Structure 1
Amino acid sequence: MKFNDLLLKFLIWRVKHINTKNFVLITSGVIGLIAGLAAVVLKEGVHIIQKALTRDFQQDLANYLYLSYPLIGIILTVLLTKYILKEKLGHGITDILYTISKKSSIVKRTKTFSRMLTSALTVGFGGSVGLEAPIVVTGSAIGSNIGRLVHLSYKQRTLLIGCGSAGAISAIFNSPIAGVIFSIEVILSEITISSFIPLLIASVVGTLVSLTLLGDDVLFSFTLTEGFTAADTPFYLFLGVFTGLVSLYFTRVVGKVEGLIKNVKGDLNRALVGGVSLGFLIFILPPLYGEGYETITFLLEGNATNLLNNSLFFSEINSVFFIALFVIAILLVKPVATALTIGSGGSGGIFAPSLFIGGITGYLFAYLINILEIAEPLSTSNFTLVGMSGVMSGVLHAPLTAIFLIAEITSGYTLFVPLMIVSAISYSTISYFEKYSLYTKPLIEKGDLIYHDKDRQVLSLIDLKKIVETDLLTINPNATLGALVDLVRFSKRNIFPVVNEEQQLVGIVTLDDIREIMFDPESRKNIIVNTLMHSPPTHVSSKESMQSVMIKFENTGAWNLPVIDDGKYIGFVSKSRIFNAYRKKLIRQQIE
């Protein structure tokens, strides 16, 4: 029996025996299970590659293979992406948000595995990015495609995308609460209590899969040994501002460097330039290799001297001030390395780099205060953890995710107060300069993503090309009034576009323009259309966003505007037809 026949029988049985609400709950658990398995496979696959490539490295010697590994990884990723998968990479979470906003939450089936393969190559060979965004894309693709397979609606598919991302994040960090909050803060724009439960189920199942297969072998974990001291509060306030500014630096540098590397023409040329540049940076600063969680572990354990392992500067291992300079260099260069990796064609995300930069920032802050003896010694491990929360909150614009992720990683809420302080201040600081995150900024600027505005959200779902009216009869500018009157007899509209031989709109004539002369025989013979026509108040393009179109209607007071693409007349769009499409979309959303 064919698969489609089996699926049809299952769907019929499901409709008879399981209501949609309960079916979504069951499906969310399945998605959490598959997303959790995907996270485990990716995590272990990357670690196996990295260990195989670096197991013979001697910590007291510089390793020149650092110069070649990132280049190999990026070139392999580009070749795989271009010639086999035939996809474009970039920021994966941005693509998911675009898919939810503009593609009815339908994620390509190949993304259920493509990002796992490409990110394993990129990060395994030292690309300075994280695995979280690729696994979120994988989990989201799993949720979307299962939703399509069982014929769920757009709203339900979107929820399952959120379930996939929650299951993936919870599995990769063993942090179920952070997984749920990440989906709510970053992926889903609207959430209700009824949709909250599937996210919980998927996230818990994802964590259980990870715990069952890997135990406590997560990307990194740490048990707190020092508690929060209220006397340290002023320093956490300053750290909040500092991490906010570092978040701004990270955001701006990543955007700038990505723009520069993308100016290089040709995918392989771009991969070559980016890979060579990245390899050089990693050779000088080995902690930039891969995700960087090993570096964070060193800092949390108080072994900052290990940062100099495998580097040209191993001989400076006992110099307190050189270690500080080395950490500052890592802080400044990490955003460049991340942007080179992504911009040159590598696969990965900014989730891990934001945690890495945050840990470096928090450690550096406490380290400098301690060596300068400004106050009583600060806990470098606590400030490292809280710094991670601060920069992640600023870069991702997800303060709650940052707070609960660090709280769960440390297996307690001892640092909950400083986590809240630093995350809130960091988010407020960067929001003053950058209103949107790296994920959402390009989409919002193009009008492809709209938050917290129901009218604009519904308008953005309307495809202008589908409501263009092409039944208006056109007239040549050199035609007589008589020819126009003949059109009036057959037309059901009172607007007549005046179009020349090149299909260019040169004006319009309305029924009101000719009403007083249309029955005069002399006028019908002698008056030419181009003496009667007038210019429309403005025109629109079928490629414009609906928000832009509505602004033009508002500014002109018109009810009908011509649609012109590349200088050619296409048709007219009417405000009444837009309102009708809007009403239908709104009713459909309410039903769903």
Structure 2
Amino acid sequence: MHDRIKKIYPEAFGWIFQRLRRGTIPAAPLTIVLAAIAGVLTGYGSVLFAYLFEIIRELTVLRFVAWSEFTIWGYVALAASPALGILFVAWFTRYFRLEGQAVPEVIKSVARKDGVIRPFWSLAKVFSSAVCIGVGGSVGPEGPMVLIGSSIASAAGQFFRLSSRNLRTLVAAGAAAGISAAFNAPIAGVIFSCEIILGSFAVESLTPIVIAAVLAAVVQKQVGEHGVNVAFPQISHEYAGNWVELPSYFLLGIICGFASIAFVRLLYWTEDVAKAWTPKWWIRALACGTLVGVLGAGYFVVYPAPPTISAEESANESDSLAEEMSQEGHHPRGPALYGVGYDTVEHSLHLQNADKPMPVRRQNVDIASTKVVPLSREEMIAHLWWLVPLILLKPICTSLTLGGGGAGGIFAPSLFLGATLGGAYGIVCNLIAPDMCASPGAYALVGMGAVVAGTTHGVLSAILIVYELTGDYHIILPIMGAACISSVVAWFSDPENIYSKRLARSGESIARSHDLHGAEHIKVRDVMIRRFPTVKNTDNLVQIIKVARQNPHIESLPVMDDDNRLIGIIRPEDLHRVMDTDVSPYLVNADDIALMMPISVSPEENLLEALRDFGSRDVDTLPVEIGEGGRRQLIGLLLRADVMSRYREAMLSRH
């Protein structure tokens, strides 16, 4: 009997495996199973990634910090660490052709490549990111962790020959698992994947995405103490519906929106300046890395730890901090501008005005048992001087790290900027009008969500990731308001988020959902009508109506001048508006009612770009022109109805 069982198991497994490979298993359950496997593997992969960069950090940055207590050469080594590390990463990237950043490349793979990601590229990119973070590069771990999950999912989907639609969903599930493992935030991982990676909340995609995110979080909770656990416990802020406090949160949202704009522009401006300064990659890497090292080590010399009033208190805090971290398995505090900077974020979140009472729900808790940092007025001023340089220097260091050829995520720097900016803003509010505001830590918490929303344009992701990081639901209303305001401010400046902007700069026009994916591959010339009626600008309303009735399938009529050049279009609503008046139709000419200078499209544009043009002017017909300037020639019309019909045909043929 035992021998039969031993024989049956391999045969059964082989039978199932062959059916999976041949595609005879239904696609939906197979996608769910592969998403579950990808979620588990991503959880363990993220822990290994955290191990790797923490080991590198111990061997470099933390060792140099300890060395600096005995000799000036420790500070020299601390300053040189990012330069040498970024130089290595830049060489590694160039040698193995690892161009591109993690999250933008995942977005591109979903939108352009049907979810196909090169396994070797992913592994090499993850390794280079670990080195960059470990040696002091001012970047975060979430990008590589998203890449870990997406590449595992992509490899599994390709192996089992999933359709392009299911493969894209599976890659999005891997990305959700990466965010879930990076921040212990499964809900935020799901929303991030749908909002940023897919750009769609299609019901059929949710099940595998949710399962992958949940299982990655389970693995992280089991072994997270050995990896990166960035949850910030014991947050005690609360918003009780006080109208007086609300304007201060909304103003913070506006400030964070402008800070997000500045951060994104600085990031890409630094990259452009570095490339324009010298074509030699190794000089760029050394120069940018040296600047990161000088700024990071210099700030560490001035502020090795958050400020305290007396040297004795500072020594006591350092001793207790070291003891606490030793007990919890964490490492001693390094330079605030190096690496992910979660120590600084956590400290900012716990800033409390000593003159304000603890929230009602925490009044019975012993403050000594929490991580709350009560501040007197003098201590708030000292912390303000500590925070303001961080607000300015962190975006600079992140921009220099990536501009010099480093690798890593920008989500953690966004959290850092939001926490420090919000904390500083909260301190200013408490110094000026303490009765009209909350404690500084509350504004640090709100600022995190607002800056993330401003940089990523992912409002739901920002709100949920801050909630899951802190477990603090009691201040969710200000976070929601500030995040929405920040996102709107940033969107009006640039509709592209920090990820899609990198792709747009390289000439990539990315569809933001499965439902638009097919539109990128159809040209305007394939859909436009080439025989169409026109009217002269001097034609009166009677003549225009006659042409419109003879061509009922044309919704808008092109208006031509005496040189047969397009000057406008007449829409149905333009005709109806003038027909409802008492003006004689013989006194109304075409150029009196036409929409002048209409948007025209090129026959070489794709339908995705054309759909954006339809929306920007709220028209149903777009002229198609060739040539430039005065030599432009109208060759066709593109109808919205034809575009949607052709797009639906393409989608049916794909799926």
With normalisation by structure 2, the TM-score equals 0.67
Corresponding residue to 1:419 among 479, 490, 501: 479
Q: Would you say the 8 A contact 2:388–2:424 is kept in 1?
A: yes
The alignment status of 1:26 with 2:40, answered yes or no, reads: no
Residue 270 of structure 1 is matched in structure 2 by 284
Matched, 1:300 2:314: no
- Cα distance in 1 between the residues matched to 2:212 and 2:262: 35
CA distance in 2, matches of 1:238, 1:434: 20
Residue 488 of structure 2 aligns with which residue?
428
Letter in 2 for 1:235: S
SS at match of 1:262: helix
Q: Does 1:251 align with 2:264?
A: yes
Correspondence for 2:255: 242
Q: Which amino acid aligns with 2:191?
A: I
Which deviates more from structure 2 when the two are superposed, residues 390-399 or residues 14-23? 14-23
Q: Secondary structure at the match of 2:498?
A: coil
Question: Which residue number in structure 2 is paired with residue 47 of structure 1?
Answer: 54
157, 167, 170: which one pairs with 1:157?
167
Q: CA separation in 1, counterparts of 2:522 and 2:14?
A: 32
User: Distance between the aligned counterparts of 2:49 and 2:91, measured in 1?
Assistant: 20
Structure 1 residues 23-422: aligned runs within 5 Å: 23-56=30-63, 57=65, 63-83=75-95, 85-89=96-100, 91-215=101-225, 218-231=229-242, 232-263=245-276, 264-285=278-299, 286-302=335-351, 321=381, 323-375=383-435, 378-422=438-482
Aligned partner of residue 287 in structure 1, secondary structure: coil
Count of residue pairs the alignment pairs up: 485
Provide the residue aligned with 2:317 in structure 1.
Answer: none
In structure 1, how many angstroms separate the alpha carbons of the residues matched to 2:274 and 2:383? 30
State whether residues 237 and 472 of structure 2, in contact with CA within 8 Å, keep that contact through their aligned partners in structure 1.
Answer: no
Aligned residue for 2:474, secondary structure, equals coil
Distance change in 2, residues 1:9/1:206 (3 Å): closer
Distance of 2:464 and 2:524 partners within structure 1: 42
Is the CA contact (8 Å cut-off) linking 1:105 and 1:154 kept in structure 2? yes
Q: Equivalent residue for 2:521?
A: 461
Contact 1:112 1:139 in 2 (8 A): no
Matched to 2:295, the amino acid is L
1 CA distance for matches of 2:352 and 2:77? 25
Please state how far the C-alpha of 1:15 moved relative to its aligned partner.
5.9
| Cα distance in structure 2, aligned partners of 1:222 and 1:355 | 16
Structure 1 Cα separation of the partners of residues 429 and 175 of structure 2:
39
Pick one of 6, 16, 19 that aligns with 1:12: 19
| 3-state SS in 2 of match to 1:414 | helix
Equivalent residue number for residue 630 of structure 2: none
The structural deviation recorded for 1:182 is 0.6
Alpha-carbon spacing, 1:382–1:79, altered in 2? closer, same or farther (3 Å): same
- d(CA) in 2 for partners of 1:376, 1:190: 40
Counterparts of 2:468 and 2:610, CA distance in 1: 47
How many Å apart are 1:284 and its aligned residue?
Answer: 2.3
Does the aligned pair in 1 maintain the 2:524–2:610 contact within 8 Å? no
Letter paired with 1:64? V
Distance 1:464 1:276, change over 3 A: farther
Instruction: Sort the Cα spacing of 1:449 and 1:20 in 2 relative to 1 into closer, same or farther, 3 A.
Output: same
- Equivalent pair of 1:102/1:461 in contact (CA under 8 Å): no
Residues 394 and 430, structure 1, Cα contact 8 Å, conserved in 2? yes
- Residues 303 and 220 from structure 1, CA distance in 2 versus in 1: closer, same or farther, beyond 3 angstroms? farther
User: What is the RMSD computed on CA atoms of the aligned residues?
Assistant: 3.6
| Distance verdict in 2 for CA 1:540–1:224, change over 3 Å | closer
Check 1:9–1:457 CA distance in 2 against 1; reply closer, same or farther (3 A cut). closer
CA distance in 1, matches of 2:453, 2:231: 19
Q: Check whether the contact 2:136–2:339 (CA below 8 A) recurs between aligned residues.
A: yes
Instruction: Give the whole-Å Cα distance in 2 for the aligned partners of 1:412 and 1:334.
Output: 26
TM superposition shift of 1:555: 4.0
- One-letter code of the match for 1:225? S
Counterpart-to-counterpart distance in 1, 2:445 and 2:99? 34
- The structure-2 alpha-carbon separation of the partners of 1:55 and 1:332, relative to structure 1 and needing over 3 Å to count, comes to closer
Deviations 1:525-579, CA, capped at 9 Å, x for gaps: xxxxxxxxxxxxx99898x75667999x964579xx9xxxxxxxxxxxxx9xxx9
Aligned-partner Cα distance in 2 for 1:336–1:388: 18
State how far apart, in whole Å, the 1-side matches of 2:193 and 2:56 are: 29
Contact 1:111–1:141, Cα closer than 8 Å, also in 2? no
Asked if the contact 2:146–2:178 (Cα under 8 Å) also holds between the matched residues in 1, the reply is: yes
The answer as to whether partners of 2:601 and 2:622 remain within 8 angstroms in 1 is: no
Structure 1 residue 104, shift from structure 2 partner: 2.4
Q: CA separation in 2, counterparts of 1:48 and 1:393?
A: 32
Q: Which range moved further: 93-102 or 214-223?
A: 214-223
Amino acid at match of 1:448: S
Is 2:248–2:437's contact at 8 Å kept on the other side of the alignment? no
Amino acid at match of 2:497: S
Q: CA deviation at 1:152?
A: 0.4
Q: Residue type matched to 1:152 in 2?
A: L
- In the TM superposition, what is the alpha-carbon distance from 1:64 to its structure 2 partner? 2.9
Note the C-alpha offset of 1:112: 3.5
Unaligned runs of 5+ in 2: 1-12, 300-334, 354-377, 528-599, 614-620, 628-637
Tell me the CA shift for residue 463 of structure 1: 8.4
Measured in 1, the distance between the counterparts of 2:610 and 2:472 equals: 51
Q: Relative to 1, partners in 2 of residues 1:151 and 1:14: Cα closer, same or farther, differing over 3 Å?
A: closer
Give the percent of matched residue pairs that are identical in Structure 1 and Structure 2.
26
The equivalent of 1:495 in structure 2 is none
* 8 A Cα contact 1:245 1:430, kept in partner: yes
Deviation at 1:459, TM superposition (A): 3.2
Q: Paired residue for 1:499?
A: none
CA distance in 1 between partners of 2:434 and 2:465 (Å): 31
User: Quick check: 2:89–2:406 contact (8 Å CA) kept in 1?
Assistant: yes
What is the CA-CA distance between 1:339 and the residue it aligns to? 1.1
Q: Match of 1:71, as an amino acid?
A: A
Q: Offset at 1:226?
A: 3.3
Question: Cα gap change, 1:414/1:148 in structure 2, threshold over 3 Å: closer, same or farther?
Answer: same
What is the letter of the counterpart of residue 346 of structure 2? T
Q: Aligned partners of 2:644, 2:465: CA distance in 1, in Å?
A: 42
Asked whether the 8 Å contact 2:235–2:350 carries over to 1, the reply is no
Q: Structure 2 CA distance, aligned partners of 1:394 and 1:124? A: 27
